[in-house]
Structure 1
Amino acid sequence: MTTHSPPPAAPGIALEIAASTFAALGSEQRLSVLRSLVRAGPEGLSIGELGERCGVTGSTLTHHVKTLTQVGLVKQTRKGRSVICAAVAYHEIRALTDFLLSECCADSTNPQDHHRHE
């Protein structure tokens, strides 16, 4: 009987960190908030503009931004009377993608599978 050990975490990101970050992104609204901030670029968006763009407002938006901030994907800063939110973890977002694809098709017996996702 052959036993398989779990695959190692991808270089650059620990399994636990990937899991908690993916958990934070496990909401359509949070994913929409992050996508809106990524689209806005490093200058970010005011909380009001963010709400308009992603269709989430009030305490719900505050909760989602807080969750994304806790996992290090978003940063909030005060600019005068406005709160500006910005995606700050572009490297970490890329690392999550690499985490998923780093061992793509590693256990496949078909050599062509190894080249499909490169």
Structure 2
Amino acid sequence: MWETAAAGFSAMGSEARLKVLKTLVRAGEGGLTVGDIQERTGIAPSTLAHHLRFLAAGGVVVQEKIGRSTINRASYGELRTLAEFILSECCADEVGKAANDG
């Protein structure tokens, strides 16, 4: 899981990619074409293609070819898994700290 989590978090590791991902999350299950994402984010098409490839390689975006268009969707399952991974040990050390403070 560590390797998968690292790839997912790495894929989100730039302001532009976070902007693209947030745009796809807002769009919902229907996803968006590259043109729609470009229009909403203002990111140049060639740069946007690079960011989408990176996000897809990290597993946080799924791309589906439909006719001539490619629909891009946030991978909600993977995003939930990443959130659970990072929060799975939330406050685990706090119990020991409280016992030592008493």
Q: Select 2:2's aligned residue among 1, 15, 29.
A: 15
Tell me how many residue pairs correspond in the alignment: 97
Q: Secondary structure at the match of 2:13?
A: coil
Q: TM-score, normalised by structure 2?
A: 0.84
Aligned-pair CA distance for 1:98: 1.2
Q: What residue identity is the alignment partner of 1:102?
A: S
Aligned partners of 1:81 and 1:102: how far apart in 2?
41
* Identical-residue share of aligned pairs (%): 51
Q: TM-score, normalised by structure 1?
A: 0.74
Q: Which residue of 1 aligns with 2:64?
A: 77
Q: Secondary structure at the match of 2:43?
A: coil
1:110 matches 2:94 = no
Aligned-pair CA distance for 1:24: 0.8
Structure 1: runs of 5 or more not aligned: 1-13, 112-118
Q: Secondary structure at the match of 1:43?
A: coil
Aligned partners of 2:41 and 2:17: how far apart in 1?
9
Query: Which stretches of structure 1, 4 residues or longer, exceed 6 Å deviation after superposition?
Result: none
Aligned-pair CA distance for 1:57: 2.2
Q: What residue identity is the alignment partner of 2:14?
A: S
Q: Which residue of 1 aligns with 2:40?
A: 53
The two structures, once aligned, show a CA RMSD in angstroms of 1.5
Aligned partners of 2:66 and 2:85: how far apart in 1?
35
Which protein is richer in helix relative to its size? Answer: 2
Aligned partners of 2:13 and 2:92: how far apart in 1?
26
